[in-house]
Amino acid sequence: GAGVSQTPSNKVTEKGKYVELRCDPISGHTALYWYRQSLGQGPEFLIYFQGTGAADDSGLPNDRFFAVRPEGSVSTLKIQRTERGDSAVYLCASSLNGPTDTQYFGPGTRLTVL
């Protein structure tokens, strides 16, 4: 079956601009996660959704970052006033029922802020 998909695969933007990154989880998976991975580092947790609600957003670095999952399926990560330090690969993952289930990752969106 289809895995986790993310769009766009690459995004180049200018400092100060607004970006939206989209994640389409595996069908039927109720839990969705966003991570950020910088070069040479492991993925860093940002936020976890159970259904439509954010169950844990403790990893969001500041209030420029926001994510939604209005219908409990597709999620959008929104970054306002982008900074060069936001450049990274943003990974989305989903799991069947919750965090104790295996997380399956999407291919990521490579964000470059110039």
Partner 1 sequence: RKEVEQDPGPFNVPEGATVAFNCTYSNSASQSFFWYRQDCRKEPKLLMSVYSSGNEDGRFTAQLNRASQYISLLIRDSKLSDSATYLCVVIGSSGTYKYIFGTGTRLKVLA
Which parts of this chain interact with partner 1 (CB under 8 A)? 33, 35, 40-45, 48, 56, 58-59, 91, 98-100, 102-108
The Cα 4–Cα 26 span in angstroms is 5
Residues near 114 by beta carbon (within 8 Å), at least 6 away in sequence = 12, 13, 14, 15, 84
The Cα 31–Cα 21 span in angstroms is 17
Closer to partner 1 at the Cβ: 27 or 102?
102
Closer to partner 1 at the Cβ: 8 or 16?
8
Closer to partner 1 at the Cβ: 16 or 98?
98
Residue 37 CB, nearest approach to partner 1 (Å): 8
